[in-house]
Structure 1
Amino acid sequence: MSGKKLTMVILVVFIAIASYYFKLSNSFLKLNGEGSIDAGYFPRIISVTFIILCIISLFQTIKAKDYKVDLGNIHLVLISIGLTVVYFLLWSNFGFFYPLTFVFMLSLFMLFKPRPIFSKGIFTLSILSLSMTIFIYFVFEKVMSVQF
């Protein structure tokens, strides 16, 4: 695939996302008073800066030579994106953050494991997923008091 075309498409998508983000920041609560800093001030600065940087990168991409992009593991990327979408959909509809996080991390570990999936390493991956989920629980629930 052409790297130049791919870069240009991604930059246009980023500009569209930043424009939407800018539009959302204008809908935040406005404070009374001229020139006061409200809740949307910083998001507007971020989105405008991001749009300007994307436009600069677009011009640089247009001037650059074309190159080829190897998409050898695109199936792994697409499966990861699909698993992430399913994870967020299940979490937002049913809750159960910690069990879903455990299953999500275990499935990603199994997906990216270079050896066959169901070997004796599945126990190690389960322990790793469980320990990371417990770590997330303690950091967010106990230390920062964030409820999921």
Structure 2
Amino acid sequence: MSYKIASYVSLIFFAMIGVLFFSSSFYLPASGQTIGPEYFPRLLSIILIIFCIISFITTTKKKDVKVEFANPRYIIFTVLLSIVFIGLWHMFGLFYVFAFVYMAILFYFYNQDKHSLKKAFKYIVIALGMAIFLYVLFERLLNFTIR
């Protein structure tokens, strides 16, 4: 596949996600504070769109090369697991639980070294820490419940 075509397609895709997040942030509950629950998604979506535009411009200046996917099973597995994660989150509303499981599975799957119980425990601890960080950030600091 062409590097430029792959870059353009992915940049347009992520810019559209940024626009979608930005527009959906207007439906989040507003607070009387300057920085409320709607602030963080808007900021991230604007940054994402800006970086997509910058990358689009720099890609036009680069030389086109052929890109080979070394291991497409990683891409396919990640896409399928992401669909399952979003579906389960939508059906049951347990974002933090499913985010923890999602991250732990991805950490374990992407590990190139020999799998061991010690490494699996390490990935579970890291995924748990990230899920707790997300909980504290959204539920406690931004007072926003992810459903």
Q: TM-score range by the shorter chain?
A: 0.5 to 0.7
Deviation per CA, 1:87-136: give whole Å up to 9, x if none: 11110111111111110010110111121334321111111111111111
Q: Which residue number corresponds to residue 3 of structure 1?
A: 3
Relative to the length of structure 2, the TM-score reads 0.60
SS at structure 1 position matched to 2:134? helix
List aligned pairs for 1:10-49, cutoff 5 A: 10=9, 14=12
By how many angstroms is 1:4 displaced?
4.9
Relative to the length of structure 1, the TM-score reads 0.60
Q: Which residue number corresponds to residue 80 of structure 2?
A: 82
> In 2 relative to 1, CA 86–65 (structure 1 residues): closer, same or farther, beyond 3 Å?
same
Q: What is the aligned counterpart of 1:113 among 111, 114, 134?
A: 111
Q: Which runs of 5+ in 1 are unaligned?
A: 29-45
CA distance, structure 2, for counterparts of residue 5 and residue 68 of structure 1:
10
Q: Which has the higher contact order (CA 8 A, sep 6+)?
A: 2
Q: Select between 64-73 and 97-106 the one with higher mean Cα deviation.
A: 64-73
Deviation per CA, 1:57-105: give whole Å up to 9, x if none: 6xx58xx865211210322122112111111111011111111111001
How high is the sequence identity, in percent, across the aligned residues?
Answer: 29
Would you identify which runs of 4 or more consecutive aligned residues in structure 1 move more than 6 Å?
Answer: none
Q: Which residue number corresponds to residue 143 of structure 2?
A: 145
Q: Which residue number corresponds to residue 68 of structure 1?
A: 66
CA distance, structure 2, for counterparts of residue 65 and residue 131 of structure 1:
41
CA distance, structure 2, for counterparts of residue 7 and residue 143 of structure 1:
35
CA distance, structure 1, for counterparts of residue 126 and residue 83 of structure 2:
22
Counterpart code for 2:65? Y
Counterpart code for 1:108? L
Which has the higher Rg, Structure 1 or Structure 2?
1
